[in-house]
Amino acid sequence: MPTAPAPAAEVLRDPGFARFWTAETVSGFGTYVTTVALQVLVVLTLDGSAADVGFVSAARWLPYVVLGLVVGALVDRRRRQPLLVVTDLGRGLLLCAIPLLAWLGGLSVPVLMAVMVAFGTLALVNDAATQSFVPRLVPRASLLAANARLDQSDAVAQTSGPAIGGALVGLLGAPVAVLVDAASYLLSAALTASIRVTETVRVPTEPPHLLREVRAGLRWVYRHRVLTPFALGTHGWFVCHSALTTVYVTYVLLGLDLGTFQLGLTLAAAGVGGLVGSLAATRVGLRWGVGRTVITSWLLSPVGWAVIVLAPDPGPGSAVPTVAVLMAGQLVCGLAMGLENANSMGYRQAVTPDALQGRMNITMRSINRAMVVVGAPLGGLLGDAVGYRPVMLGGIVGFVLLAAGLALSPYRHARHDDEAPA
């Protein structure tokens, strides 16, 4: 008999998950500050272009392309808690190098790319362990609620982080603002280390064989009747999304000539939408099913970007109408992601055996990040060549086609009470 999802599971009453949730919330807040700071750093401090923003973003995700599948297999062999602690400490210390390099006069776009490659390598291991750690903290019936709680805190961080990040960048400068994220990772490491959890490492029935284990993860993702169409769809989604978000920063700062605080306000609106979406995610997912919820979310994203494209140029007296339209578009985009993530993540975790959790998560994430490595520079280059709005219109068309493809696949019937494998 399938295990019925727990729609009202109060997972925050579990002390282990509560500490993990707090750690993720703290580091998530810092991450959104840095997201703004790094983009402003490239455009304004280092006099970079949209293409430079794309290259820095691609460097951040390059390790997922090169090492992702291997890391997924290695994580499945080990306890996940120590990996989370070590990678949080490493990322915190690494981010401290950015203001130091800026102070020494040694910061440039290529140097920043190198730092982001090292940062991305640590993030890769952390992501594989994080997504695989949640099923060890809460029972299967609480996975949807747990992921919804994580999304809600992420949405709150996304709401406040960009606005505060924009203000900190304006007050202290982009390099120094990055230190906020460094401190958040160090605190996250301390909280995660304090969690009491029993982790069992699977004992292989045959000698470890890395290539065989990687192939097993690939087979699970790309031969699963329901997961496969979703995985393929998300790959295309990340191409469109990375191109659009890369162009968006330069569109706001250079195309519309708005300031960093105004940029932060528009990005914060996405956090508000994400919070609303994540608060509704559990109820909507249980009522509509995973498939219909995710497909609806994918159709909402192009609506939000269409609003952004229609933003008027700032008038001579006030930029308020422009900022308001951008915020409205970002609000819809955030709502879409808030509805989608907890449902798709909870379903993936629920139908995947524990021994394959790391490989399933990192296989999908690695290929998705490979799409970012392609989409972010491509969006930047096209934005510089043909303009920001044409690139956004192309991304909108891509989103619509991807949602239509998912709606025609078996994924449309996915539900949270689907049978998990024995």
Number of domains in the chain: 1
User: Do 83 and 126 touch, CB atoms closer than 8 A?
Assistant: yes
Contacts of 404 (CB under 8 A, 6+ apart): none
CA distance 275 to 68: 29
In a domain, 4, yes or no: no
In a domain, 9, yes or no: no
- Where on the phi/psi map is residue 247: left (φ > 0), alpha (ψ -120 to 50), or beta? alpha
CA distance 191 to 357: 23
Tokens matching residue 308? 């952004």
CA dihedral 138, 139, 144, 150 (to 10 degrees): 0
232: closest CA among 364, 323, 353? 364
For position 117, what pLDDT does the model report?
93
Contacts of 386 (CB under 8 A, 6+ apart): none
CA dihedral 116, 119, 124, 127 (to 10 degrees): -120
User: CATH no. for residue 293?
Assistant: 1.20.1250.20
User: Do 152 and 341 touch, CB atoms closer than 8 A?
Assistant: no
Could you give the 3-state DSSP secondary structure of residue 202? coil
The 3 state secondary structure assigned to 159-181 is HHHHHHHHHHHHHHCHHHHHHHH
Record the pTM. 0.70
pLDDT in tens, 81-98: 888 899 999 999 999 998
Q: Which residues constitute the domain of residue 66?
A: 16-193+209-413
CA distance 299 to 290: 14
First CA to last CA across the chain, in angstroms? 11
Tokens matching residue 275? 């919070």
What are the residue ranges of helices labelled H in 76-142? 80-95, 97-104, 109-137
CA distance 205 to 335: 45
Angle at Cα 123 formed by Cα 121 and Cα 125, nearest 5°? 75
In a domain, 7, yes or no: no
Give Cα 129 to chain centroid, integer Å: 15
152-186: b or e for each residue (b if 16 or more CB lie within 10 Å)? Answer: bbbbbbbbbbbbbbbbbbeeebbbbbbbbbbebbb
Contacts of 157 (CB under 8 A, 6+ apart): 25, 28, 29, 31, 32, 271
In a domain, 198, yes or no: no
CA distance 373 to 54: 8
How many C-alpha atoms does 358 have within 13 Å on its Cβ side? 26
CB atoms within 10 A of CB 6: 20
In a domain, 1, yes or no: no
What is each CA distance from 368 to 117, 234, 278, in whole angstroms?
16, 7, 22
User: Do 210 and 342 touch, CB atoms closer than 8 A?
Assistant: no
Instruction: Point out the residues of the chain with pLDDT beneath 70.
Output: 1-10, 72, 76-77, 158-163, 199-210, 317, 418-422
How many C-alpha atoms does 171 have within 13 Å on its Cβ side? 8
23: closest CA among 159, 79, 6, 31? 31
In a domain, 421, yes or no: no
CB atoms within 10 A of CB 102: 20
User: Do 263 and 305 touch, CB atoms closer than 8 A?
Assistant: no
In a domain, 418, yes or no: no
In a domain, 58, yes or no: yes
244: closest CA among 403, 393, 113? 393
In sign, the C-alpha dihedral spanning 336, 127, 421, 219 is positive
The DSSP-derived string for 277-333 is: HHHHHHHHHHHH-HHHHHHHHHHHHHHHHHHHHTPPPPPSS--HHHHHHHHHHHHHH
Contacts of 412 (CB under 8 A, 6+ apart): 291, 292, 295, 406
